Structure 1
Amino acid sequence: MLWEAVSRLPAGSTVVEIGSHQGRSTVVLGHAARAVGARVVAIDAFVDGRLFGGASTRDLFERNIAKAGLDDVVELVVGYSTKLRHTWSRPFDLLYVDGKHDYWTYVDDLRWSAHMPPGSEILVHDCFSSIGVTAGTLHKVLFGNRFTYVDRSRSLARFVLRRPGPADRLRVLQQLPWFVGNVFLKVLLRLRLSKVAAWAGHQGPYDPF
C-alpha cells in the first residue's frame, strides 16, 4: 500500500514520513520514490527508552538506509513532529503517519496536511487498531470536513485530502466492528489470556495490527 501510494506521485514529489524507527517502512517508501523520481523526508525524535530505542535506534535507521542504498533519496529530520510542524514551510505531496499513537499527537500530525495540495493522500498506520489513533480519526474524519477515508489494508488506512460525503463517513463507521475486535484481543493479551485470544482467532503473542 505504501509502494502503490508513492507510485501514483509525479516526478519531483516529496513524501513525508512521521515515525521512522529503524527504517523498515522508510526503505519501502525510498525505493518507490526512486522509481518515480521523488524524495522522502523521514521525521523521528528517536526518544530514549525501552519502547523507542533512542540513539541506538537512530544508528540502526541510518545503517538500514545506507544498506538499502537510499542515502540520496531519504532525508532524515530528527525532532518531535509536534514541534517541527510550527516552523515547517516546505510543501509535500504524500504524508505517512506512524508516530506516537496517542490522540493528541495523532491529531496534531494530521495538521501537517496544511502543506499538501488538495486531493493528496495520507496514510495512517494502526488506524482502527490503536485507541488514540481511532479516536482521532473519528473526530477529524468521521465528524470533520477536511479528510475522506478511502480504504485500508489491515490497520494501514488511506485518506484523501478532500471534503467527505455521507458515503465516505459511512465507510468509517463500517470499520468500527473490526476496531472493537482488535481492542478485545489486546485486552486478552494484556491479561495473558492467549488461549482465549487464539480461540477468538488471533495467532501469535503480539497485538493485532
Structure 2
Amino acid sequence: MMRFGSFADAWTLAEDIPGWLTPDQARLLWDEARRLQPGARVLEIGSYQGRSTVVLAAALADSGGQVVAVDPFVDDWKYGSPVTRSRFEEHLARAGVAAGVRLVADYSTAVRPTWTEPLDLLFVDGKHDVLTVLDDLKFAAHVRQGGRLLVHDCFSSVGVTLGVLPLLRPGSPLRFLTRTGSMAVFELGSPGVSDRLRLLAQLPWWARNIGIKVLLRLKLRGLARRAGHDSLYDPF
C-alpha cells in the first residue's frame, strides 16, 4: 500500500471524489486518524464513493491500521446508484489504499447488534434519520477508552441533531469537544456541565443551517446569501 507523508498528499487523491466532505473536515479526519496507535481500527459508517475513506486509509497507511467501511450501497435517488460500489472500489484502488480498507456492504443497523471488534475511532456519516443515528452511536460501546467519535452533518440535519441531543443526559457515554463545520467531535467519557453547554451552544447555528436549507428548497438563494451561505448546496 502507498505511504502518505502529509494531508496534502492524501487530499490530492480524495478531493476529486464526489462527496460532501469539506477540506477542513477531511483534515480533521486525517489528524484524528494520525494520532492513533499503530494497527488502529477505524469504523466508517457511510462511505458513498470513498472520499472520506481514502483520507482515513491514507492517514493509517504508515502505521498498519485499517478502515472498516460500512455501507449498503443501495440504489438511492441522492446517495447511491447501481454503480456506487464499483466507483467506491475504483477510487480506493486509484488512491492506492484498497489494502487498508475492509468493506462491509450492509446497513449499519444490521451490523451493529453482532459487532464485537474494538475500535479506536468511529466516524458516523450514514443515514440521517434519528433512529439510525441513535443506533449508530451505540457503536461507541466498542471504542477504546479515550477514543473519539466524529459525526458528520451533526448540526445541519434535523435527524442527526436530534440523535445526538440525548448525549446531554446524565450518564451519557460521550462528551462534546468541538466541531469543524457540521462535523462534531465527541470523546469517550461522561459529560460535565461545560461539555453540555458547549453542545447546546451549537443549536442556534444548527437552526441557521436548517433555515438555509428551507430557503434553498424554496429557490430563495438571494436570502440564503444574505445569511452568509453563498452556495447552491446545503450547508455541511
* TM-score category, normalised to shorter length: over 0.9
Structure 1 residue aligned with 2:217: 190
31, 42, 53: which one pairs with 2:80?
A: 53
Where does structure 1 lack aligned partners over 5 or more consecutive residues? none
Where does structure 2 lack aligned partners over 5 or more consecutive residues? 1-27
User: Take 2:159 and 2:196, find their aligned partners in 1: how far apart are those partners?
Assistant: 19
User: Take 1:164 and 1:184, find their aligned partners in 2: how far apart are those partners?
Assistant: 29
Superposition map of 1:159-170 within 5 A: 159-170=186-197
Matched, 1:42 2:43: no
97, 102, 126: which one pairs with 1:75?
A: 102
| Alignment RMSD | 1.0
Structure 2 residue aligned with 1:199: 226
Structure 2 residue aligned with 1:133: 160
Q: SS of the residue aligned with 2:122?
A: strand
Structure 2 residue aligned with 1:176: 203
Residue 143 of structure 1 and its aligned partner are, at CA, apart by 2.0
User: Take 1:74 and 1:156, find their aligned partners in 2: how far apart are those partners?
Assistant: 22
User: Take 2:86 and 2:120, find their aligned partners in 1: how far apart are those partners?
Assistant: 28
Runs of 4+ displaced beyond 2 Å:
none
Taking a change above 3 Å as real, the CA distance of residues 14 and 101 of structure 1, as seen in their structure-2 partners, is: same
Structure 2 residue aligned with 1:113: 140
Matched, 1:143 2:176: no
Q: SS of the residue aligned with 2:204?
A: helix
Residue 52 of structure 1 and its aligned partner are, at CA, apart by 2.6
Q: SS of the residue aligned with 1:118?
A: strand
Q: Name the TM-score, length of structure 1 as normaliser.
A: 0.96
User: Take 2:80 and 2:113, find their aligned partners in 1: how far apart are those partners?
Assistant: 25
- Which one-letter code corresponds to 1:34 in the other structure? A
User: Take 2:119 and 2:228, find their aligned partners in 1: how far apart are those partners?
Assistant: 40
User: Take 1:72 and 1:49, find their aligned partners in 2: how far apart are those partners?
Assistant: 27
92, 96, 102: which one pairs with 2:123?
A: 96
Residue 54 of structure 1 and its aligned partner are, at CA, apart by 3.4
- Which one-letter code corresponds to 1:46 in the other structure? F
- Which one-letter code corresponds to 1:98 in the other structure? D
Identity among equivalent positions (%) equals 51
Q: Name the TM-score, length of structure 2 as normaliser.
A: 0.86
